[in-house]
Amino acid sequence: MTLLFYVACSIVTLNCVSAEVAHQFQYAVRVIGSNYAPTIERDEFLVSEKIKKEFLKQRREADAALFSELHRKLQTQGVLKHRWSILYLLLSLCEDPRKPSRGASYGALFAQALPRDAHSTPFYCARPQSLSLSHPERSGLAQNPNSMGTSGVSSLGMYSLNGTTTAPQFLLAGHQTAGESFRQPLGSRLAWNLPPTASHFSAPTSRGPLLPITPSARAALRQRRDVDSHAEIGEGALIRDILYVFQGIDGNFIKMCSQANCYTIDEKVPLSRSLRDTSNRLAELGWLHNKVRKYTDAWSLDRAFGLVGQSFCASLHQELKEYYRLLSVLHTQLQVEDEQGVNLGAESNLTLRRLLVWTYDPKVRLKTLAALVDYCQGRKGGELATSVHAYGKTGDPYMRALVQHILGLVSHPILNFLYRWIYDGELEDTYHEFFVASDPTVKTDRLWHDKYTLRKSMIPSFITMDQANKVLLIGKSINFLHQVCHDRTPPGKMPVPASKSTDSPRDAVELFTDLEGAFQGKIDAAYFDTSKYLLDVLNRNYLLLEHLQAMKRYLLLGQGDFIRHLMDLLKPELARPATTLYQHNLTGILETAVRATNAQFDSPEILKRLDVRLLEVSPGDTGWDVFSLDYHVDGPIATVFTRECMSHYLRVFNFLWRAKRMEYTLTDIWKGQMCNAKLLKNMPELSGVLHQCHILASEMVHFIHQMQYYITFEVLECSWDELWNKVQHAQDLDHIIAAHEVFLNTIITRCLLDNNNRSLLNQLRAIFDQIIEFQNAQDSLYRSGLEELQLRLQFEETKRERQEEGEWGVTAAQEAEESRHVQKFQETIPKMRSQLRILTHFYQGIVQQFLVLLMTSSDESLQFLSFRLDFNEHYKARDPRLRASLGASRGRRSSNM
């Protein structure tokens, strides 16, 4: 055989120097001698078919017929044992006759073939030539048979590519990485072993000895590799392993290393570094897959994980399914290769490098998924959607699309919750995933305030706080209508938008991405309609505004004639000790007062709610201290007039009632003064005391008038106007409630009822007490004065009667007694005077103290009140503290400015 070969060599290299022949022979022997398994199928039929195809390509149909005739003849003879072999040889050596002479074309041919062959070497990447050369070849695959038929091996590979591959992506990949199965190891070897020759790739014709970088050299190297592979693992085995690892199953060589938490190849397995490297890189995919898989396995069966979590798992599953599809395609490819023999169509074989390219995209996907899984660990519901949404904020459109898709699936349940909630008011959130939470223990009377709350953590980041609040409000309104107002208006009458729910997850994505537009619009529309309807129902059926006005009229003493009359009627009752009061008596009086005044024209709905209430009695209280009006609220309006609100009203009413009583008392005092002034005129010894009384009374009247003015106009009416405006323009019930609360708080603060003004209020109470005391003092003064007057009148009367009877007017004894009596009375006058003086002193002291406190108050209106109370600086002139504090307050104000 060797001899034969030598002959062959010498024949081919005819006319050559024998040394050269020997050299070539050595080389040829090395190539042939390596026990190299053929890469082609040992099928005569296939080879003959290929030959026919070759003829057809060259448009030699007649020759094709001739060949099949000859082939048939050959088959009948049966001399040859390896018919396919010789046929294959001939096919390999086949030349297109239309080509120019063989000798001239060789150099060009190999130069053309080379760049493609060495494509995978790193040195070649930068060569523009490789691009320009490989392109026409690729594109001319079908149309240009001339270039195809030139280089035997590579063209054969191309045919097999066309003939046997099925999956289009393989075809595509096969184009790009044509012939990589051999070239990959070759390339790396070239890179390591032959770096100097690399520079000669571009000039294959320069010198003889450098020629080995040609297909035959490749073959030689390839064979050497297979010799080596007795020790190493074959690439095929490795690929098989890798495919298992992709599914998270340990392979023969590549195993999960629990310490490092990654797939590693056993160190002892003999393997070249490049292969080891590549497989390590590929094995990462398995790790990522495991991670995602573990998450879905752990959660998809956990029902408590909730719908959002389930749909997240489902979307992960979907992605994994795609991935499995790819794996199954790869498996099929591997199987086909196994069945057809290892080296059919070298161009379409599975190789590690090819896998690396094909799994690039799935790897990116899996990486994203794994990151998502990591990030979403332990989250559920809206929180989960938030995390997914956070991952969608990336510049990579591919990743964004993926995350967007998952987000669509994940947010779909949330969106369903949302639509159920804002259109039907139903909350079917078994796993507490939605951002509206309901507290089932709350009764209907607190439904508006306490039953529904926002779960802040569950608000997905793509829904703003404002929107979440609106959503909460919409559903709350609907529930309020249903449960509290018992308004079961059918949905047709209720303003419900036409599109009720989303049909597909895609809608969800569109809604959530287009936040400014449709979604916002939908929420706004629902919000507007529902709130408006609710307010309508409250105003129309439950007379909310009328009740509000009634509160002001009765509890805040707005209905003057009624209050005055009530006080008139109640006065004798209330003057008694509180323990002797009976509610039914007072209720009767209240009704009388209502019937006698303009209050009777109010609607019965309001009047029937008006009631008397007695506060807790403490010892020593009079009726004045415990009496108060009450207004019953229930049903829907109790949502606005809550228990706290009513207690505020009660406090304000008590304060106002007290102030009113002072006014009433002072009126009484004044009346007494006016009536008695004439009677007591002829008791000159009393005039000093009376004058004192008048002065003090007018001081008090001034004070109370200013207080009343302040309370009525600066506090009540101003706040009321504000409230009324707000209520008229309120968009939802919350606005009304808020406005009402503001109103009450303002009143409480301005009426000195809050904690900051406690000292002021105490002073005011003391002033009120002084007024009462003054009334008592003056009453006793008048009583004794009138008694005295009566006695004197009686004395005069008897004197006159006696004189008419003709007796002595007075006896000496009577005279003496009378004068003693007058003396005694006159002695009581200084006592009264001093008592009055003490009272005045006390009163003025308290008022001054009150003014000082008003001055130092931070509220502007209170400061103005102090100016009004002391308009002529009467108190200021008397009290140095007031002067000082005035100056101080002025200084403070100027420094503030």
Partner 1 sequence: MASAANMNAVRETMDVLLEISRLLNTGLDMESLSICVRLCEQGINPEALSSVIKELRKAADTLKASENSAS
Least Å distance, CB 49 to partner 1, is 14
Q: 752: left (phi > 0), else alpha (psi -120 to 50), else beta?
A: left
Least Å distance, CB 504 to partner 1, is 57
| Contact string 73-112 vs partner 1 (x = CB under 8 A) | xx--xxxxxx--xxxxxxxxxxxxx----xx--xx--x--
* CA 644/CA 636 separation, integer angstroms: 16
* CA 386/CA 443 separation, integer angstroms: 33
| Of 52 and 522, CB closest to partner 1 | 52
Least Å distance, CB 243 to partner 1, is 28
Beta bridge partner(s), residue 577:
622
Q: Does residue number 575 form part of the binding site for partner 1 (CB under 8 A)?
A: no
Q: Does residue number 203 form part of the binding site for partner 1 (CB under 8 A)?
A: no
Residues in the chain: 897
* CA 891/CA 897 separation, integer angstroms: 10
| Of 72 and 783, CB closest to partner 1 | 72
* Residue from 114, 141, 161, 219 binding partner 1 (CB under 8 A): 219
- DSSP letter at 622? B
Helix (H, G, I), strand (E, B) or coil at 730: coil
Is residue 164 within 8 A of residue 345, CB to CB? The reply is yes
Helix (H, G, I), strand (E, B) or coil at 83: helix
Of 24-32, 121-129, 629-637, 755-763, the window that binds partner 1 (rule: CB under 8 A) is: 24-32
Least Å distance, CB 60 to partner 1, is 8
Q: Does residue number 8 form part of the binding site for partner 1 (CB under 8 A)?
A: yes
Identity of residue 454: L
Of 213-221, 462-470, 620-628, 702-710, the window that binds partner 1 (rule: CB under 8 A) is: 213-221
Of 9-17, 417-425, 473-481, 485-493, the window that binds partner 1 (rule: CB under 8 A) is: 9-17
Q: Does residue number 40 form part of the binding site for partner 1 (CB under 8 A)?
A: yes
* Residue from 53, 175, 215, 609 binding partner 1 (CB under 8 A): 215
| Of 28 and 191, CB closest to partner 1 | 28
Least Å distance, CB 364 to partner 1, is 39
Least Å distance, CB 48 to partner 1, is 10
* CA 504/CA 501 separation, integer angstroms: 9
* Residue from 41, 55, 130, 653 binding partner 1 (CB under 8 A): 55
* CA 755/CA 759 separation, integer angstroms: 9
Q: Does residue number 11 form part of the binding site for partner 1 (CB under 8 A)?
A: yes
HEC states along 146-196?
HHHCCCHHHHHHHHHHHHHCCCHHHHHHHHHCCCHHHHHHHHHHHHHHCHH
Q: Does residue number 56 form part of the binding site for partner 1 (CB under 8 A)?
A: no
First to last CA, the chain: 117
Least Å distance, CB 375 to partner 1, is 54
Is residue 183 within 8 A of residue 117, CB to CB? The reply is yes
Q: Does residue number 631 form part of the binding site for partner 1 (CB under 8 A)?
A: no
* Residue from 205, 541, 687, 803 binding partner 1 (CB under 8 A): 205
Least Å distance, CB 193 to partner 1, is 19
Of 207-215, 378-386, 697-705, 866-874, the window that binds partner 1 (rule: CB under 8 A) is: 207-215
Q: Which residue carries 């074309």 as its tokens? A: 105
| Of 10 and 597, CB closest to partner 1 | 10
Least Å distance, CB 195 to partner 1, is 23
* CA 861/CA 343 separation, integer angstroms: 100
| Of 63 and 668, CB closest to partner 1 | 63
Least Å distance, CB 402 to partner 1, is 45
Of 63-71, 255-263, 287-295, 699-707, the window that binds partner 1 (rule: CB under 8 A) is: 63-71
Q: Which two tokens stand for residue 696?
A: 């003090």
Least Å distance, CB 13 to partner 1, is 4
Helix (H, G, I), strand (E, B) or coil at 628: strand
Q: Which residue carries 């408006």 as its tokens? A: 532
| Of 25 and 435, CB closest to partner 1 | 25
Burial letters 107-145, b for 16+ CB under 10 A, else e: eebbbbbbbbbbbbbebbeebeebeebbeebeeebeeeb
Least Å distance, CB 412 to partner 1, is 59
| Of 161 and 384, CB closest to partner 1 | 161
What separation in angstroms does the CA of 11 have from each of 3, 18, 91, 105, 741? Answer: 12, 11, 20, 20, 114
Q: Does residue number 260 form part of the binding site for partner 1 (CB under 8 A)?
A: no
* Residue from 43, 49, 57, 63 binding partner 1 (CB under 8 A): 63
Helices (H), 341-359: 352-358
Least Å distance, CB 22 to partner 1, is 12
Which residues, including other chains, have CB under 8 Å from residue 88's CB and lie 6 or more apart? 40, 47
Identity of residue 713: F
Q: Does residue number 146 form part of the binding site for partner 1 (CB under 8 A)?
A: no
Q: Does residue number 341 form part of the binding site for partner 1 (CB under 8 A)?
A: no
Burial letters 671-707, b for 16+ CB under 10 A, else e: ebbeebeeebeebeebeebbebbeebbebbbbbbebb
Is residue 494 within 8 A of residue 528, CB to CB? The reply is no
Q: Which two tokens stand for residue 386?
A: 């938030």
| Of 16 and 249, CB closest to partner 1 | 16
Is residue 344 within 8 A of residue 40, CB to CB? The reply is yes
| Contact string 489-528 vs partner 1 (x = CB under 8 A) | ----------------------------------------
* Phi, psi for 265 (deg, rounded to 5): -90, 140
Strand-strand pairing, 610-614 and 627-631: antiparallel
Give the closest residue to 525 by CA, choosing from 487, 499, 490.
Answer: 499
Q: What angle do CA 68, 70, 75 make, to 5 degrees?
A: 90
Least Å distance, CB 348 to partner 1, is 17
How many residues bind partner 1 (CB under 8 A)? The answer is 69
Q: What angle do CA 88, 91, 92 make, to 5 degrees?
A: 85
Least Å distance, CB 336 to partner 1, is 21
Q: Does residue number 36 form part of the binding site for partner 1 (CB under 8 A)?
A: yes
What separation in angstroms does the CA of 486 have from each of 493, 547, 639? Answer: 15, 19, 14
| Of 1 and 142, CB closest to partner 1 | 1
Q: Does residue number 71 form part of the binding site for partner 1 (CB under 8 A)?
A: yes
Which residues, including other chains, have CB under 8 Å from residue 845's CB and lie 6 or more apart? none
| Contact string 151-180 vs partner 1 (x = CB under 8 A) | -xx---------------------------
Identity of residue 643: R
| Of 156 and 370, CB closest to partner 1 | 156
Identity of residue 217: A
Kindly list the residues in this chain that would bind partner 1 in the complex (CB under 8 A).
1, 4-5, 7-9, 11-17, 20, 24, 27-28, 31-32, 36-40, 51, 54-55, 60, 63, 66-67, 70-71, 73-74, 77-82, 85-97, 102-103, 106-107, 110, 152-153, 205, 208, 211, 214-216, 219, 223
